[in-house]
Amino acid sequence: MLALDALKKYAKTDRTALVNREERLSYRELDARSDAFARWLLNAPEDRSPVVLRGDKETALLPCIFGALKAGRAYVPIDTVVPGDRAVQILADVEPQVVVDLAGGTLSWDGKVLSPGELETILTAPGPEVPRDQWIGEGDTAYLLFTSGSTGRPKGVAVTAGNLDAFCRGVLPLYPEDGGVVLHQVSYSFDVSGCAVYAGICRGMTLFTVDHGMAADLGACFAALERSGLSLWVSTPSFGELCAQSERFRQELLPRLERFLFCGEVLTHDLCDTLAERFPRARILNTYGPTETTVLVTAAEVTAELRRDSRPIPIGAPIAGVTLRLEREGQPVTGEGETGELLILGPTVGPGYLNRPDLTEKAFFTDPGTGLRGYRTGDLCYRKDGMYYYCGRVDNQLKLGGYRVELEDIEENLQKLPNVRRAAVVPVRDGEGRARYLAAFLLLREADGLSPLQRTIRLKKEAAPFLPGYMIPRKFLVVEAFPLNVNGKIDRKALAARLEETP
């Protein structure tokens, strides 16, 4: 695997792999600690189950990731924003025998749960290098990422070592030649973190950590960034926007910054214009890709010309190795400017969903003409002047503050609440069509006698064990009956229109 080869290569140098607040980990230490974790895993050779890693950005997580891969095992990151109940659903799906819980021991699971103390003993135990023939193979699952699923349970997306190698080959031409410092802010449970963890390590970069606590306190975050020597920014546009709200966020704060790489949701003209003005020495890249096809598959450099264009910022052209097609009702869409569903083909397309052959079958395919593996994205796009433009979804999936959310997932979970018979969730969008927050329309089992504010407070509290904070609607509105569309389904458009009428 390319990232493991690179780790070995840079372990012979004095480079720093990770900076996490006051802690630093050199490539040499990362290599030694990941070998130690792999040795410990290999003590139980009969166990091939994925290793679950629960935490935020603790320094020990990176050695665990590379350790799992060196032992030929997949890992499953679960961020601390995921509530215990949902985390246990993931565990039930994965059936791990080893769970690393750095989130304060809140997880109830029958298998082995390693505490931070136990993990430290394992990571610092001396021993020989792990032979390469134990390392993960090309076709083996490297990680499983759980994303919002329309059934109300998160679904596990598998990505292989070969997929990650293909991603690295495709993305590295966008990276600086060698070394530098890359922002490590994106959660491990969101695949855009692979831009730091895999491509960054391949280039011998230093991963500069911004954890949840720092991201929530921009003053502290900027004080740390000022000393970071950051050369490559990787984040969702949402985090970029959050930072850009402060006037301090400019080239003087990050004098070595050469590139912004955005991924995961719509990048707006506004943000590009602000950054172009404040960071005259930095290039801006808009990239796009679903988890199912490994981190990102397209890229566009946002030039001054594209910024002046009245069309949205394009998601760009495919990276090396990736083939894109557009399709409508099973027929290829080839005309310039014609909209169709985007199909992604090539070596970054993953094997599918864990334990869900039905969903895998629906979204993934093998192209009969080329033999390439393909994935139907559900994203509507058109092509113009060699660039792809994103223009919405075919379903109820959306991005909220950079997080991928299925509205049905939220509805299913709200229906678990004691007094909710039926729930319908709609996004409240801004002028550029992006979801800003969610509103839930509820049919109650019985009148609750509460004021709207009291009801909202109660429902938010009741929903917290089931849903991460970003999936909990901001507004709750009670209905006597739902408006239905011609197919007899709940008419979300009508509900969204009602929302515009209610202040």
> Where do contacts with ligand AMP occur on this chain (CB under 6 A)?
147, 191, 263-267, 286, 288, 290-291, 315, 377, 379, 390, 393, 399, 404
**Minimum distance from residue 299 beta carbon to ligand AMP (Å):** 9
Nearest to ligand AMP of 206, 291 (CB atom): 291
The alpha-helical segments, DSSP class H, found in 43-113 are 61-70, 84-94
**Minimum distance from residue 100 beta carbon to ligand AMP (Å):** 23
User: Using an 8 Å Cβ cutoff, are 225 and 250 in contact?
Assistant: no
User: CA-based Rg of the chain, rounded to a whole angstrom?
Assistant: 23
**Minimum distance from residue 65 beta carbon to ligand AMP (Å):** 19
**Minimum distance from residue 287 beta carbon to ligand AMP (Å):** 6
Residue 348's nearest CA partner among 292, 411, 391 is 292
**Minimum distance from residue 278 beta carbon to ligand AMP (Å):** 21
**Minimum distance from residue 402 beta carbon to ligand AMP (Å):** 8
- Report the distance separating Cα 325 and Cα 327, nearest Å: 7
The residues, ordered by sequence, that sit 6+ positions from 411 with a Cβ below 8 Å of its Cβ are 152, 423, 424, 425, 440
Tokens 């230093």 sit at which residue?
206
Angle of helix 27-42 relative to helix 2-10, nearest 10 degrees, comes to 130
Q: Strands 475-478, 435-444: parallel, antiparallel or unpaired by DSSP?
A: parallel
**Minimum distance from residue 258 beta carbon to ligand AMP (Å):** 20
- Report the distance separating Cα 166 and Cα 16, nearest Å: 25
Tokens 């997929």 sit at which residue?
163
Q: How many CB atoms lie within 10 A of CB 253?
A: 18
**Minimum distance from residue 456 beta carbon to ligand AMP (Å):** 28
**Minimum distance from residue 298 beta carbon to ligand AMP (Å):** 8
Nearest to ligand AMP of 135, 388 (CB atom): 388
Nearest to ligand AMP of 263, 467 (CB atom): 263
- Report the distance separating Cα 187 and Cα 470, nearest Å: 14
**Minimum distance from residue 237 beta carbon to ligand AMP (Å):** 8
On the CB side of 375, CA atoms within 13 Å amount to 25
Nearest to ligand AMP of 82, 99 (CB atom): 82
Nearest to ligand AMP of 206, 293 (CB atom): 293
Nearest to ligand AMP of 74, 122 (CB atom): 74
- Report the distance separating Cα 105 and Cα 114, nearest Å: 9
Nearest to ligand AMP of 206, 396 (CB atom): 396
Nearest to ligand AMP of 35, 379 (CB atom): 379
DSSP one-letter string for 23-63 = EEEEHHHHHHHHHHHHHHHHTSTT--PPEEEEESS-TTHHH
Nearest to ligand AMP of 302, 424 (CB atom): 302
- Report the distance separating Cα 421 and Cα 227, nearest Å: 53
Backbone angles phi, psi at 142, to 5 degrees: -90, -45
Nearest to ligand AMP of 100, 300 (CB atom): 300
